[in-house]
Structure 1
Amino acid sequence: MSHDHEGHADHDHTGHDHPHEGALGPQADASVRAARPSDAPAIGQVQAQVFIDTYADRLPPEVSAAFDPNAFAKGWREALSAPPADGIHRLFVALAGAQVVGLAAFGPSQDPDTGQATGEITLLAVHPLGRRQGHGSRLLNACVDQLRELGAEEVSAWLPADADDTRAFLMGAGLGPDGAFRDRVVSPDGATLREVRVRASLAPSDLEA
C-alpha cells in the first residue's frame, strides 16, 4: 500500500524477532517509531524497492520506471517537515537496529461509504530483504494503536485484487474484504489496476493485529 494506495507488498506476520544476519545486517533490536524528516532517504529507498517488487508485473513499464527513491524521499521529507495540521495523518518506520526496513502510513478514509470514524492504512511496506522478521505486524500494530487513540472505530485498506500474500496477512490480523472494489487508473493512457478493500472494526475483540 502506498501513500496513494499503490504500495502493497508481501508482509511478514510471523512475529519472528531473533537476530538474523542477511543483506540488511543483523536483525536484532527490531522496533517501530514515528518517522522523522531525517529518515526520508531511507524511506525513499524502501518504498521504491517495494513498489518495484510489487508492481513490476502489474503496471505499465513507464509507470514502474518512475519509482525513484530520490523522488519518494523528497515527498516524504516535505510531508514530515510540515505535517498536516489535523494531526491524523501519521507515518511509522520499522527498524532493524538503526536501519529503516519498513514503513506504514495512515489517515482518515476518503471513501464516502465508510463514515468519518474510519481510518485508512494508505501504505504498509517492508523491504524484500527485511521480511519474515515481524516488521509488518509491528507496523500494523502501531497504526491500529494510534487509530484507536484518535477515536477511530474502523480501519480499512485498499490492495491489488491479486495480492494474495498481502490479503492473507491482513486477514490473519482480522481485516477482511467488505465487497468494495475499484479500477484505479494508473497511467496516462488509461491502464487500470483492480483493487479490493479490506476493513475491520477497531474493537479489541474484533481486530487481532
Structure 2
Amino acid sequence: MIQFSNYDIISNLLYATQWTILLSIAAFIGGTSVALLLTAARLTRNTVVQKCVRLYVELFQGTPLLMQMFLCFFGLSMLGYEISAWSAAILSLTLFTSAFLVEIWRGCIDTLPKGQWEASRCLGLSFLHTLRHIILPQAIRVAVAPTVGFSVQVIKGTALASIIGFVELTKVGTMLNNATFEPFKVFALVALIYFMLCYPLSLYSKYLEKKFHVSR
C-alpha cells in the first residue's frame, strides 16, 4: 500500500479542484449562452419554435445528467465522432444547465405585468426593442439571484464527470481512496471542498435576493 501523508492528500485534492472549477465555469458560460437563445425563441409567437424549445427543456430536465454524459461520451463515439471526456462533460453540462435556466428565466419574465408588452406594442416598439429596453432590465433583477443559486447545482453536477473518466475532484478522491484505503478521511475532505465552493454562492444568492427585493 502506498503511503500518503495528509499533505499529499490535500494537495492532490486541491489540484483537482481547479479542474472542477474550470469545468463549472465552462459549463455555466455555455449554458447561459444557449439559454439566452432559447429564452428569446420561446418568447416569439411562432408556435413551432415554442414547442421545439419546450421539447428541449423537457428532454434534458426529464433525463438524468449521468445518462446525458454517457450519451455524449459513448454515443458520439459510436457515431464516429471521437470526443474527449472534457468535451463530453462540457457538452452534457451545457445542455443540462441551459434547460433549467430557460425555465428559471421564463418564470422571471412571466412575473412582469402583461400590460407592459401591450403598452410597448401600442407605442410601436418592435419585439426586440421591447425585450431589450423594457422587459430584460426588469427580468434581470428578478433572475440574477436564482441564476447564481443554480450555479451550485452545476458545481455539484461536475462530480458525475468522473464516471466518464474526466479527472476532477471526485475522481481524484476515488483514486486516493483506492490507494490509501481511508475512505472517511478522503471523502470527508472532498465533501468539505465542495461545501467551500458551494456555500459562498448560496449566501451570495440570498444576498442578491434581498438586495433586489425579489421577495417583495
Give TM-score, length-normalised by structure 1. Answer: 0.27
Relative contact order, higher structure (CA 8 A, sep 6+): 2
Pick the structure with more helix per residue.
2
Query: What is the TM-score of this pair, normalised by structure 2?
Result: 0.27
User: Greater Rg, structure 1 or structure 2?
Assistant: 2
Q: Report the structure, 1 or 2, having the larger strand content.
A: 1
